[in-house]
Structure formats: C-alpha cells, structure tokens
Amino acid sequence: MAFSFNFGTILGGGVTPYVATSIIGQTHNLLSPAFLLVAASIIGFVTSVRVRETADEALA
C-alpha cells in the first residue's frame, strides 16, 4: 500500500513540473499548465463518479 501511494506521489508531483515546462515550450502558451490541471481534474471527477459505493457490503 505504501509503495503504491509513494509511487503515485512521485509520478504526480515529480514529473508534473517537467511536463508543464515542456508543454509551455511547445505551445508558447503560459496557460498550458492550467489546461493540464483541468484535464487531471476531469479524470479525477469521472473516476470518482464511476466508482461504486461499497459502504453497505460485507468486508469478507
């Protein structure tokens, strides 16, 4: 569990500045990181809507 969380943190927090800098360099648009953030937010929202509720189910 800890490895998965830390790996996700490394990918999300470590690579994002490089991706944002690359996108700005390619598009010459300083708002490009905002579009990256919007895309990540949309992915997170769709994922949270699609996950089914398991509060009333048995654990085993």
In a domain, 42, yes or no: yes
According to the model, what pLDDT value does residue 11 have? 83
* pLDDT value of position 22: 95
Is residue 57 assigned to a domain?
A: no
pLDDT reported for residue 60: 75
Look at residue 58 and tell me if it is in a domain: no
**What gap in Å lies between CA 30 and CA 41, rounded to an integer?**
19
| Residue 41: per-residue pLDDT | 94
Task: Give me the pLDDT at residue 58, please.
Answer: 87
> Total domain count for the chain?
1
| Structure-block tokens of residue 26 | 């390619």
| Per-residue model confidence as pLDDT tens digits over 7-60 | 888 888 888 899 999 999 999 999 999 998 999 899 999 999 999 888 888 887
- For residue 10, being part of any structural domain is answered with yes
22, part of any domain: yes
DSSP output for 1-60: -HHHHHHHHIIIIISHHHHHHHHHHHH--TTHHHHHHHHHHHHHHHHHHHSPP-TTS---
What pLDDT is attached to residue 30?
95
- For residues 11 and 23, what is the distance between their CA atoms, to the nearest angstrom? 17
In a domain? residue 32:
yes
**What is the span of the domain harbouring residue 35?**
2-50
**Per the domain annotation, does 44 fall within a domain?**
yes
Q: Does residue 56 form part of some domain?
A: no
